[in-house]
């Protein structure tokens, strides 16, 4: 059996676009006719440019290869161009293709992917969700409305969730880490207070930031949130300086989580060696794939660090995240996004029930992709999957932004 054909589908979830503006799905077929699905979570270049990267990685390093030889194919891609260092775009391409290989191998052996990774360690996986607006909430004002966030958080707890994430702390700008406005700190405190009051001790608070603060600003904000005991403080400083994040971890009494913008054991290993985070959040469609993150999970065990796979993408990456999560002992949480489009795209094969997910014994990733639906929603926009704004933090009028969920996805 060897890898023969590749097809790439760039599909756009309907507005409001939870999960980003588009998802890049890859369909890999072997000479024996077995099809595997993967998802490339790569957003630093546009989808058409990314399509060319995926095709190059496949034809250069994987086409004609036995899908079992994942280690070999990884080393080819990682070493390409005489590099042997993390490359977010190349690894994003390889990650989705690698996930498809695991789907193929599971189907060939009639076993779920987690069974090939060491078996079922976790009978069920504790899920968390972003706090998204309820139907009666105003989409524009929700992201700075603490009372509305508390109401939505209570609704998620009623559904069975035991952890909710929110990120009210101001803009993500291309300027790198900035000092938060005092109003951003006040808004963040108000969110924590309202959500804690709404959920009590029935759910953990996951405070999301996305690398937008400088070190001093992250420490100021984190210390202001300590009375509400969040389970984590996510990516408080940009991911390109690990020692800065370690300084925050030493000064703030909230566990630091990071990883959604990192790739390969090289970057995750640096985080652990520096003591920069207690929780790692790999996105498997970017981080090097399932096998590479199985290695990182094992490394994390030796540092007493937990894993919480990240999801701001489509349901194929979610399936890969969950197979890894099922197989590892140091799992904390796994992110989920519940939309009709996510559910329909994999025909309801995986669902959150009472705040947890349990994978079936279905072979491969255990999903069937609705290819017709994916192709019926092509992405025709010019924007990237997620984008930072050029304007700086507003220290006078305040900052109202929509997090990672634009009101219009096209």
Q: Which residues are catalytic?
A: 210, 310
Q: How far apart are CA 163 and CA 188, in angstroms?
A: 17
CA distances from 40 to 201, 302, 320 (A): 37, 29, 11
C-alpha radius of gyration, the chain, whole number: 20
Which long-range CB contacts under 8 A does 360-364 form with residues at least 24 apart? 360/112, 361/112, 362/112, 363/106, 363/107, 363/109, 363/110, 363/111, 363/112, 364/36, 364/102, 364/103, 364/104, 364/105, 364/106, 364/107, 364/112, 364/113
Please say whether the beta carbons of 198 and 232 come within 8 A. Answer: no
User: If DSSP states are collapsed to H, E and C, what string results for 176-205?
Assistant: CCECCCHHHHHHHHHHHHHHHHHHCCCCEE
Q: How far apart are CA 372 and CA 353, in angstroms?
A: 27
DSSP state of 138: -
CA distances from 129 to 111, 157, 164, 311 (A): 29, 10, 5, 9
């Amino acid at each position: 059996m060897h890898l023969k054909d590749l097809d790439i589908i760039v599909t756009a979830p309907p507005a409001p676009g939870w999960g980003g503006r588009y998802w890049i799905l890859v369909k890999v077929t072997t000479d024996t006719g077995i099809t595997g699905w993967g998802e490339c979570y790569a957003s630093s270049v546009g989808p058409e440019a990314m399509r060319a990267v995926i095709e190059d990685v496949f034809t250069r390093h994987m086409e004609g290869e036995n899908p079992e030889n994942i280690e070999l194919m990884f080393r080819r891609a990682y070493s390409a161009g005489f590099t042997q260092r993390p490359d977010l775009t190349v690894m994003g391409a390889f990650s989705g293709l690698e996930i498809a290989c695991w789907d193929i191998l599971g189907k060939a052996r009639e076993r779920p992917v987690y069974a090939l990774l060491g078996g079922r360690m976790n009978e069920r996986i504790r899920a968390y969700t972003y706090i998204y607006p309820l139907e009666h909430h105003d989409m524009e004002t929700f992201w700075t409305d603490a009372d509305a966030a508390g109401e939505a958080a209570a609704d998620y707890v009623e559904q069975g969730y035991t952890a909710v994430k929110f990120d009210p702390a101001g803009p993500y700008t291309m300027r790198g880490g900035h000092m938060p406005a005092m109003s951003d700190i006040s808004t963040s405190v108000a969110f924590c207070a309202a959500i804690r009051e709404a959920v009590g001790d029935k759910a953990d608070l996951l405070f999301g930031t996305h690398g937008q603060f400088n070190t001093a600003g992250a420490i100021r904000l984190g210390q202001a949130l300590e009375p509400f005991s969040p389970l984590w403080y996510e990516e408080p400083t940009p991911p390109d300086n690990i020692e800065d994040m370690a300084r925050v971890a030493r000064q703030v009494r909230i566990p630091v989580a990071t990883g959604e913008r990192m790739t390969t054991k090289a970057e995750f290993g640096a985080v652990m060696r520096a003591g920069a985070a207690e929780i790692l959040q790999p996105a498997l469609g970017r981080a090097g794939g399932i096998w590479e993150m199985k290695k990182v999970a094992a490394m994390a065990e030796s540092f007493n660090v937990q894993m919480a796979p990240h999801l701001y993408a489509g349901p194929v990456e979610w399936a890969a995240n969950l197979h890894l999560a099922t197989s590892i002992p140091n799992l904390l949480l796994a992110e989920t996004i519940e939309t009709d489009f996510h559910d329909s795209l994999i025909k309801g094969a995986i669902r959150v029930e009472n705040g947890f997910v349990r994978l079936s014994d279905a072979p491969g990733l255990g999903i069937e992709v609705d290819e017709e639906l994916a192709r019926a929603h092509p992405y025709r926009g010019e924007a990237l999957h997620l984008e930072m704004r050029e304007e700086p933090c507003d220290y006078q009028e305040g900052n109202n932004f929509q997090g990672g969920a634009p009101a219009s996805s096209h």
